[in-house]
Amino acid sequence: MAGNFWQSSHYLQWVLDKQDLIKERQKDLKFLSEEEYWKLQIFFANVIQALGEHLKLRQQVIATATVYFKRFYARYSLKSIDPVLMAPTCVFLASKVEEFGVVSNTRLISAATSVLKTRFSYAFPKEFPYRMNHDCCLIVYHPYRPLLQYVQDMGQEDMLLPLAWRIVNDTYRTDLCLLYPPFMIALACLHVACVVQQKDARQWFSELSVDMDKILEIIRVILKLYDQWKNFDDRKEIAAVLNKMPKPKPPPTRYVWSPFFLTACLNLLKVCMGVGQTWTFNRSHIIIRKHRTVHFWEGERLSNAPPLILHM
């Protein structure tokens, strides 16, 4: 992505302090252990990856969707919006921001149903409040571009790039994208690839003007991910974790109308509506009768159950 990372909203607002991130999660950690929260991170990153592959999205679009997902829950509890809805919402939004093309609601629901094995309403209504919550900071920088530059500079593109690229993909199962600049993540992934491929790159790394302690911190997180991931069977374990996860409150079954709000609405309706016209909103019905008397009821109207009558 072109532009100056150091002047971007990504760097200025979304490279977070680890202690602040942990503090924001305390509400969720009342219900989940740190290990269970980590399992949820892996699970929903896998869900987004599977959704993206099902929709044939580029890897960068999938990575952007994963970052959006992590950014939201870095600031809000899991119970604010069900992650099962947020995951496809982030995929939909990332496909537009990365200019991949709009994913139709039919394809999105089909993909989500296939991946999650459950049915839910389409995720589009979540997009606008999501943008408001993030102050429209939708630009995301990824480690892929700097990784490609580093491998080309090292002169080992065929040997190192495929493995280092896969390691970058795996880092989205962790908090690294919230805590470190992308170029540092790219260097850490390249370092791991060099070790695995037994490529001696000590001289190349020693010539970098970078804080190697930070790079080693990232490497430790990557190694911890692989150590824990190999023992995690999401098909067997995730159901119990999802049951413990804090859930959003269910929507009310009916609207509760305050007298002030109802009076204001009805006064407006008297001006706008003629006698005999009916106004309906979410199973609530208002009809203007003769002498401007307002009849109001909710749900299915029964012949022996007269509506509320308001004389305005």
pLDDT at 211 over 80: yes
Q: Which letter does DSSP use for residue 31 in this model?
A: T
Tokens of 60: 């960068």
Query: What's the CA gap between 310 and 134, in Å, rounded?
Result: 43
Q: In a 3-state reduction of DSSP, which class is residue 196?
A: helix
Helix (H, G, I), strand (E, B) or coil at 173: coil
- What count of residues does the chain have? 312
Give residue 42's pLDDT band: very low, low, confident or very high (50, 70, 90).
very high
Report the C-alpha gap between 280 and 298 in whole angstroms. Answer: 9
111 vs 171: which has the higher pLDDT:
171
Tell me the percentage of the chain whose pLDDT exceeds 70.
72
Q: Give ∠ CA 171-172-174 in degrees, rounded to 5.
A: 70
Residue where the block lists tokens 């911190």:
217
- Report the candidate in 81, 61, 224 with the shortest Cα–Cα distance to residue 140: 61
pLDDT of 99 reads 80
Residue indicated by tokens 């009310």: 252
pLDDT over threshold 60, residue 272:
no
The predicted structure's pLDDT at residue 308: 44
Q: Which residue has the tokens 């459950």?
A: 118
Section 88-112 average pLDDT = 82
Q: Which of 25-29, 56-60, 192-196, 266-270 has the lowest mean pLDDT?
A: 266-270
Q: What are 118-162's pLDDT values in tens digits? A: 433 334 334 434 444 555 578 899 999 999 999 999 987 888 999
pLDDT at 92 over 70: yes
- Residue 259 pLDDT greater than 60, yes or no: no
Tens of pLDDT along 234-249?
778 888 888 899 988 7
Could you say which DSSP state residue 302 is in? Answer: P
Q: Do the strands 293-298 and 284-288 form a parallel or antiparallel pair, or are they unpaired? A: antiparallel
What is the rounded CA–CA span in Å between residue 251 and residue 81?
12
- Pull the structure tokens for residue 79: 């119970």
Residue pair 114/98 in contact by the 8 Å Cβ criterion:
no
Q: Average per-residue pLDDT in the chain?
A: 79
Compute CA 220 distance to the chain's CA centroid, rounded to the nearest angstrom: 25
- For the entire predicted model, the pTM comes to 0.75
Please say if the pLDDT value at position 268 is more than 60. Answer: no
**What is the bridge-based pairing of β-strands 308-311 and 278-281?**
unpaired
Distances (CA, A) of 194 to 87, 157, 167, 190, 224: 33, 11, 12, 6, 18
